[in-house]
């Protein structure tokens, strides 16, 4: 565990050395802190005032107000909770299911590999948005349903990456040594191979987080996401598009926050990929995975 944490710290230091990734991390940290401490901020996302509807940005309402007089900045901050919770929950669900499937498929091979990967191919063939809409139609509109739908859609990515990593590592000397000392399949997969395969899985987690935020917003925009009055960036885009002429900031400002969040995650993912690719080709230095 200590060695794994050391690798992740090294990866974080290399990431912060890149300006774009550092800016992306800073923006995401700001959004996460605002969402985490939203209840202590002087904002109420549900307070209505018809007399103050569709006001432009001002010192009192930085992002203006919506058609019911609710503060848009407050709803953006609370909407960040919805998006980030969906992203984190989707990554957890996808990783907890996809990684063990990929480890087992790559480690055992034979018919078990074929069976597991054909199941993954079925999930991969389903369009994410249509699968999510179908699942929400069965489970009903709720944040939990959206979270589960996005999480299941992310299983194939984790499974395929975990399988590829196992197939690349299972014949290496340190794995052979553990097997020679009587290590069980479970110990070899989860205690020997998995810690050395964390880097690409971390990249996949970041990629899935951005997809989850975008998919949650798309579901809300289509009217099948988190039900009102729960704040959601996609819901604000859906209702704000009807007032583009009267109050353009209603849809534009939440859209900018959503775009910057996804762009930050994408920048971080690209930076991590570049770091890992460089490590793979640098035979003279120690890689993040602990191999040469």
Please tell me the least confidently modeled range out of 36-40, 245-249, 275-279.
275-279
Q: What distance in Å separates the CA atoms of residue 178 and residue 168, rounded to the nearest whole number?
A: 16
pLDDT at position 100 over 80: yes
Report the pLDDT value the prediction gives residue 102, as an integer from 0 to 100: 93
HSE-up of residue 142 (Cα within 13 Å, Cβ side): 6
Nearest alpha-carbon partner for 272 in 200, 217, 214, 175: 200
C-alpha to C-alpha distance for 4 and 49, rounded to whole angstroms: 52
Place of tokens 């802190």: 33
Alpha-carbon dihedral angle through residues 123, 125, 130, 131, given to the nearest 10 degrees: -10
pLDDT band at 283 (very low <50, low <70, confident <90, very high): very low
What gap in Å lies between CA 134 and CA 128, rounded to an integer? Answer: 10
- Beta pairing partners, 65: 71
Percent of the residues in the chain that have a pLDDT greater than 90, as a whole number: 34
**All domains in the chain, ordered by first residue:** 2-281 (1.10.3720.10)
Predicted confidence (pLDDT) per residue in 202-234, tens digit: 889 999 999 999 998 998 898 888 888 888 999
Quick check: 285 pLDDT over 70? Answer: no
Whether the model clears a pTM of 0.75, i.e. scores above it, the answer is yes
Where is average pLDDT lowest: 17-31, 59-73, 127-141, 259-273? 127-141
pLDDT per position as a tens digit, 48-90: 887 788 888 888 888 988 988 899 999 999 999 999 999 999 9
More confident residue, 110 or 235: 235
What's the alpha-carbon Rg for the chain, to the nearest Å? Answer: 22
């Amino acid at each position: 565990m200590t060695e794994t944490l050391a690798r992740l710290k090294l990866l974080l230091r290399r990431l912060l050395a890149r300006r774009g990734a550092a800016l992306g991390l800073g923006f995401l940290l700001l959004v996460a802190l605002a969402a985490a401490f939203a209840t202590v901020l002087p904002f109420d996302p549900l307070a209505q005032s018809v007399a103050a509807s569709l006001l432009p940005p001002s010192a009192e309402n930085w992002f203006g107000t919506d058609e019911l007089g609710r503060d848009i900045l407050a709803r953006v901050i609370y909407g960040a909770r919805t998006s980030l919770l969906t992203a984190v929950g989707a990554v957890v669900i996808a990783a907890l299911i996809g990684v063990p499937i990929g480890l087992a498929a790559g480690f055992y091979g034979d018919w078990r590999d074929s069976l597991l990967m054909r199941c993954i191919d079925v999930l991969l063939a389903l369009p994410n948005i249509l699968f999510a809409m179908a699942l929400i139609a069965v489970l009903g509109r709720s944040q939990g349903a959206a979270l589960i739908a996005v999480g299941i859609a992310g299983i194939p990515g984790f499974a395929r990456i975990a399988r590829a990593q196992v197939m690349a590592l299972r014949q290496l000397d340190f794995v052979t040594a553990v097997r020679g000392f009587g290590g069980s399949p479970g110990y070899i997969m989860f205690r020997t191979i998995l810690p050395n395969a964390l880097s690409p899985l971390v990249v996949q987690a970041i990629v899935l987080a951005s997809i989850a935020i975008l998919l949650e917003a798309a579901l809300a925009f289509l009217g099948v996401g988190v039900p009102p009055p729960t704040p959601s960036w996609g819901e604000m885009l859906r209702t704000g598009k009807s007032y583009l002429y009267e109050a353009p900031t209603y849809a534009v400002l939440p859209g900018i926050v959503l775009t910057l969040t996804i762009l930050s995650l994408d920048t971080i993912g690209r930076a991590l990929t570049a770091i890992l690719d460089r490590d793979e080709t640098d035979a003279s230095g120690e890689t993040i995975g602990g191999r040469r």
